[in-house]
Structure 1
Amino acid sequence: MIEVKDIYKTFGENEVLKGISAKFTAGKNNLIIGGSGSGKTTLLKCIVGLHDPTKGQVFFDDQNFTEMNFTQRVPIRTEIGMLFQNSALFDSMTVEENIMFPLNLFTQQTSAEKLDRANFCLKRVNLEGKNKLYPSELSGGMKKRVGIARAISMQPKYLFVDEPNSGLDPKTSILIDELINELTEEYKITTVIVTHDMNSVMGIGDHIVFLHEGKKWWEGSNKEIAHTDNKELNSFVFASKFMQAAKGKL
């Protein structure tokens, strides 16, 4: 489980996060949603340590991550997998090399062991045999799957995903959602996903935190979201569905 307590984040005079507290449970898809500028990605970066909160604390399974120094954080960092919005693959590396990158960085495994792990991860994301391709030879959906394969290469306890469906067509988006959901359930990962995709929210939103103007405005499940009387959340949901419908007609 991951817990954030009273998180504030200020950049200069701009207060982006304003006292956010939430718990993200293992084996569940924990979604952070909200409009542009609501603080979604900033909160994600505070949780993983890319930003230090101005105030507040982050706990990984009751370990106070915020109070740790760089060296103390290393064991937790090795249990974190991340899928960035643009997949962040190294263009000069093959698919296989991209997946093995964290293994080279954080483990003492032999070359054979790392290759076995890379092949396992590729098979798990349905890209078996694509080892020697380069990112430029992959479709958008394939790049996302390679990114997921790299994110799970270290067998993470915690998986962070930033806008996994950005730039993908609806069919591929559903496949990516289903893959993330399968991995989360299968390995009991604490998965935290930043998204504005309402199909993802309704499809895999076990636990949802809605941010509005830097504050936690609503919290619940995808089953509860359809029955909320929260004005700001309803406005966000309606606008998101409208935009997705419009894109689908283009």
Structure 2
Amino acid sequence: MIEIQNIHKSFGDNHVLKGIDAAFEPGKVSMIIGGSGSGKSTLLKCIVGLHEPEKGQVYFDKEEFTQMSFEERIPVRREIGMLFQNSALFDSMTVEQNIVFGLDMFTSMSKEEKVDRANLCLERVNLKNTNHLYPSELSGGMKKRVGIARAISMNPKYLFCDEPNSGLDPATSILIDELIQELTEEYQCTTVVVTHDMNSVMGIGDYILFLYKGEKFWEGSNTDMLKSDVQELNDFVFASPLMQAARQVIK
């Protein structure tokens, strides 16, 4: 369980987050949605400690992360898996080396154990026998899956994904969504996904948090979202004809 309370974040005079509250449950895919500049990625970075909020608290299983020192945060960070928007793979490292990188930093596993773990994670994301390829030899979808393999290499309790379908074709996006959902259920992770992809929201979103101009405007399930009378949410969700059609079916 991750709980955030009254999160505020500013950059200079730009007040990006204005008192955000939410709770993300284990075994569920929670999604943060909103337009460009709404504060989605900033909120995610505040939760994992890449940004420090000026005000508010972040709790990982009732432990207040925001008040911890750098050293105190290390055990929590060992339980976090992170998939960045651009996959953030090291170009000079092979697939295997990219996955082992986190294990080198945070575990005392032997070299053989690390390779075994890398192989297990690659097999789990359907990339068996790609160990010695470099990122330049991979497609966009394969890079995302390597990023996921690295994110789950330490059996995370908490999985964060920032725009996991960015730059992917629709078919590959569905595969990535299904993989995130399967891993969430398999590991019983508390999974938080930042996205603007409404297909993902409707496909795998258990809990939806909608941000508008740095404020929490709505929260609930993806089916409840289609029935909402919040105008700002409707303007965002039903911008496409496909989502307008989906709303008519629900009604």
Task: Please classify the TM superposition score into its range, dividing by the shorter chain length.
Answer: over 0.9
| Mapping of residues 177-196 of structure 1, within 5 Å | 177-196=177-196
Alpha-carbon distance in 2 for matches of 1:61, 1:120: 28
**Structure 1 letter corresponding to 2:149:** A
Structure 1 gap segments, 5+ residues each: 246-250
Which residue pairs with 1:88 in the alignment?
88
Displacement of 1:220 after TM fit?
Answer: 0.4
Cα distance per residue 1:151-206 (max 9 Å; x no partner)? 00011000000000000000000000000000001110000000000000000010
1:151 maps to 151
Which letter maps to 1:186?
A: E
The aligned runs of 1:1-250 (5 Å cut-off) are: 1-239=1-239, 241=240
TM (normalized to structure 2)? 0.96
Give the Cα–Cα distance (whole angstroms) in 1 for the partners of residues 147 and 12 of structure 2.
33
Q: How many residues were matched structurally? A: 244
Q: Which amino acid aligns with 2:20?
A: I
Structure 2 Cα separation of the partners of residues 130 and 12 of structure 1:
45
**Could you list the runs of 5+ residues in structure 2 that have no partner in the other structure?**
245-251
Give the whole-Å Cα distance in 2 for the aligned partners of 1:131 and 1:77: 25
Q: Distance in 2 between matches of 1:70 and 1:135?
A: 31
Map Cα deviations across residues 196-247 of structure 1 (whole Å, 9 max, x no partner): 00000000010000000100000001111111111011100122x35999xx
CA RMSD of aligned residues (A): 1.2
Query: How far apart, CA to CA, are the structure 2 residues paired with 1:243 and 1:60?
Result: 37
Identity of aligned residues (%): 70
CA–CA distance in 1 between the matches of 2:214 and 2:221?
Answer: 20
Answer whether contact 2:46 2:52 (CA < 8 A) is retained: yes
Name the residue aligned to 2:247.
none
Change (3 A) 1:201 1:16: same
What CA distance in whole angstroms lies between the structure 2 residues aligned with 1:243 and 1:103? 43
Deviating 4+ runs (over 6 angstroms)? none
Q: 2: distance between equivalents of 1:92 and 1:244? A: 42
